[in-house]
Structure 1
Amino acid sequence: MKRELDFRASKPFTVGAELEVQLVDRDTFSLSDSSDIIFQNLPAELKGIVQPEVLTSMVEIVTPVCEYPEEAVHYIKKALIGIDRIGEDYGFRVSALGTHTFAKKEQTHITAKERYLRLLQELQILLRQFLIYGLHIHVGFPDKELAVKAYNMVINYLPVFLGISASSPFFYGEFTGLHSYRTKIFEQLPRAGIPEYFDNFSQFEDLYFKLKESGFIESIKDIWWDVRIHPDLGTIELRVCDSNPEIERIEFLITLLQGLSFLSQEEKIPKFYHQILKQNKWNATRYSLSGKLIDRNKITTIKGKTYSIIDYLETKGVFKSLKTDKRMEKLKGILEKKTVSEKMIMVYKKTNDLKVVESMGFIK
């Protein structure tokens, strides 16, 4: 009997986002074990949107399914304001960077949920040093094979999303020399990093069941690829991005992913050698948007590739079809601004003060 995964069809190209954020002391900016306080004081309209995460010093904001990126970031901003209001009374606030700049693993505590304790048993020190925070973006599909096409396309654009979102050049109180050190920490996990292409959904199913029947995973949640197919939700889920404090930058990332997902339905998707994919991702990890990118038979920059795909999506009328063209016209100006990681590095070189650098994660 053939094993099958149930793909729960979604309305085409709907979007959702999950933003992992740090809880930090309002005075020292050290991590604050305040998630329980949040859930004890959370207003009714934010229940289900703010959720616990692996550490007691972090929470995750999970939007409902939205028609437009602008709607998704509205929920994120509303939740961030709500959490900060609670924090005013209890001495903490929210920071949205890919890593905490100076915290150490000895100062953290794992949330006492069965899933996280099981992961701790498997991952040991790797999970204890997981002072990392990401932005995950979902796009909905009505059909599993259409989702596979978008998944394959997004694999080629992982450096673009990472470069735009990079916000983790500091870890354990040190300047790492990278723009996204979160990426390197995450890649230590056994089922993380750049995944492989699939010719069809059956190939994905086969791999999934091999991992599950071998006892290594319990569900799709135990697969942490940079982009994954999420059959339970009827989406593809981009997971490569650092958490980010700039709300417009988050909207830009969601809008771009939605546009690429739309484009994937009518385009032939080139496949690159895995080593090329790794090199391109490394260049984003190391240099953010300034990194070089191997693109078929030429070399460009990650920023240059971002501009070219936006131009192509505009030419094809993709943003117009999705009714995001007016917003994208404004949002693409973000590419002329420095990334969060670039600004963090500049401020550190000027002040040599990690507390000031950590404060750059406060929401804008």
Structure 2
Amino acid sequence: MTATVDAPHPVPLPFDAVCPLMGVEEEYLVVDPVTREVAPRAAQIVERAAIEMGERVCTEITRLQVEAKTDPCAGVAELEGQLRRMRVAVAAAAREEGLALVASGTPVLGDAVPPPITDHPRYGVGIATYRALHDEQSICAGHVHVHLPDRERAVLVGNHLRPWLPVLIALMANSPFWTGRDTGYASWRTLSWGKWPVAGPPPYFASLEEFDEVIGALTEAGALVDPGTIFWDVRPSARLPTLEVRVTDIPATVEESALLAAVVRALVVVSLERVERGDPGPRLSAERLRVAYWRAARDGLDGHGIDPETGRLRSAADLPAVLLGHIRPALEAAGDLELVTRRLERLRRTGTGAARQRAAYERRGRFTDVVDHLVKHLVNPADQ
């Protein structure tokens, strides 16, 4: 798990099939608290935050972004505590630099196209390879990492996760605006990110061998700079037996980030149990999955989405209950059922991050109010 479970360990981590270790990476946008526009000063924030956080905070590809990571955690309460302390620390570092941070999948205001790129040799190679695809790279996601016994199982578990990825997009949709414009989507980041050559939902893989063969072919074709540019929304670690689910916008609040981690872990646990029974997973076509992504990104929880179990269009507001029914056994075994049920209901009641961003705008028709809302709720819960 990159700098969480993916970091090197002196001894192998013991695997718990009921409560596998999990960790979270979050990306935030730097904003000027006066103009409310994105500001290319991430390095100063990271330098100050690193005094307390060490390697758990770092820069990202653009100078508009800060990334922070938790340690591996066995329980949701432990993870949520780390997430809160992490956000408090980076927000404090930003304030000390006369700046602020927001948890939004896209920049609400400011000159972000093309974004200022962080000075690093790897990014130079990426720019030479991907060119103008970097123009909309000032986007922020939430990544959940879950420990698994080996890479073979990680690949096979990914097959079972594919139909549920659009539901996760809808739940955590948090990017309706792009530099002063309402895109009409709940998760514009999803659409923007999908343009990259190795991004979006992963293909179906019958085995680890097939996965490695495809990665070899993509590398030979020049579509990958290194294993870090395998940008599929589900990917096994190249170094450790872990799975990363990176499909959603950065969750708007600490509570929603912890909810996402609990849901993703439960999906992984349910999927692993099916893999161990020899279930190869549903071979959902790329075309159907692409449409499900589009519906989820456009509507969030406010319109319609594709039911992962039936493939039929239904009210998006019904999909959290469908998801809960699917992962209930894993949540019960981990002791997370009550928390996840309560928070899914709260999300249904308060609306997604995207819906709350729009509500902040509609009160006075000002994008600056949206940024102020995001600054406030980086650490604080959503309005009740």
* 1:274 pairs with one of 286, 292, 295: 286
Describe how 1:182-261 pairs up with structure 2 within 5 A.
Answer: 182-261=189-268
The answer to whether the 8 A contact 1:61-1:76 is kept is no
In the alignment, what sits opposite 2:313? 299
In the alignment, what sits opposite 1:158? 165
* 1:46 pairs with one of 29, 47, 53: 53
Describe how 1:7-86 pairs up with structure 2 within 5 A.
Answer: 11-12=15-16, 13-86=20-93
Q: Report % sequence identity.
A: 23
How much has 1:106 moved relative to structure 2? 5.0
Listed one character per residue, the Cα deviations across residues 73-114 of structure 1 (whole Å, up to 9, x for unaligned) are 322221221122222222101101000112223573111011
How much has 1:349 moved relative to structure 2? 3.0
* 1:91 lines up with 2:98 in the alignment: yes
In the alignment, what sits opposite 2:345? 333
The answer to whether the 8 A contact 1:22-1:100 is kept is yes
How much has 1:135 moved relative to structure 2? 0.6
Secondary structure class of the residue paired with 1:112? coil
Q: Which amino acid aligns with 1:262?
A: V
In the alignment, what sits opposite 2:3? none
The answer to whether the 8 A contact 1:165-1:241 is kept is yes
Listed one character per residue, the Cα deviations across residues 181-234 of structure 1 (whole Å, up to 9, x for unaligned) are 111111111111122111111110111122224443243211111221223232
* 2:181 pairs with one of 174, 187, 194: 174
Secondary structure class of the residue paired with 1:47? helix
Secondary structure class of the residue paired with 1:67? coil
Q: Which amino acid aligns with 1:278?
A: R
The answer to whether the 8 A contact 2:115-2:137 is kept is no
Mapped partners of 1:243, 1:25: distance in 2: 19
TM-score when scaled to structure 2?
0.86
In the alignment, what sits opposite 2:362? 349
In the alignment, what sits opposite 2:374? 361
How much has 1:361 moved relative to structure 2? 2.1
Mapped partners of 2:52, 2:332: distance in 1: 32
- Relative to structure 1, is the Cα distance of residues 89 and 265 closer, same or farther in structure 2, using a 3 angstrom cutoff? closer
In the alignment, what sits opposite 1:135? 142
Listed one character per residue, the Cα deviations across residues 7-44 of structure 1 (whole Å, up to 9, x for unaligned) are x9753421111100011112221112222222332354
- Relative to structure 1, is the Cα distance of residues 256 and 349 closer, same or farther in structure 2, using a 3 angstrom cutoff? same
The answer to whether the 8 A contact 2:125-2:225 is kept is no
- Relative to structure 1, is the Cα distance of residues 193 and 303 closer, same or farther in structure 2, using a 3 angstrom cutoff? same
The answer to whether the 8 A contact 1:159-1:302 is kept is no
Q: Which amino acid aligns with 2:324?
A: I
How much has 1:297 moved relative to structure 2? 5.8
Note the residue ranges of structure 2 that are not aligned, 5 or more in a row. 1-8
In the alignment, what sits opposite 1:313? 327
